Amino acid sequence: MPAGEKADTKQADEAEVDVSRLDLRVGRIITALQLPDSDSVYEKYVDVGEAAPRTVVSELAKHIPVDQVYYHSYITVWGVRFFLTVI
């Protein structure tokens, strides 16, 4: 495939991304625990407005102390096989 054709295909693929299909939810971390067998993983329980809190596992322990994680707003991206988070 010629180089110009490859670039055109990549631009067409990027143009088809529909971010309106993503489900963004804001929640609040109500509990965070460092997993005993890991130095970098927290297990968090996040209230996203459902009947029960959601369990979320992330590698934030190396970056944020557990006592600073509580009650922060938490953005989750739903509608994909995994979800990304930003605090």
Report d(CA 29, CA 47) in Å as an integer.
Answer: 6
The single-letter code of the amino acid at 82 is: F
| Among the listed residues 19, 21, 23, 58, the one whose alpha carbon sits nearest the alpha carbon of residue 40 | 58
Helix (H) or strand (E) holding 31: strand 23-34
Sign of CA dihedral 20, 26, 31, 35: positive
The CATH number of residue 72's host domain is 2.40.50.140
The whole-number pLDDT of residue 53 equals 92
Question: Looking at the 3D structure of the chain, how many domains does it have?
Answer: 1
Tell me which of 53 and 86 has the higher pLDDT.
Answer: 53
Summarize the confidence of residues 52-57 as an average pLDDT: 89
User: Is residue 5 included in any domain, yes or no?
Assistant: no
The whole-number pLDDT of residue 52 equals 93
Cα separation of the two ends of the chain = 42
User: Is residue 3 included in any domain, yes or no?
Assistant: no
Summarize the confidence of residues 15-29 as an average pLDDT: 79
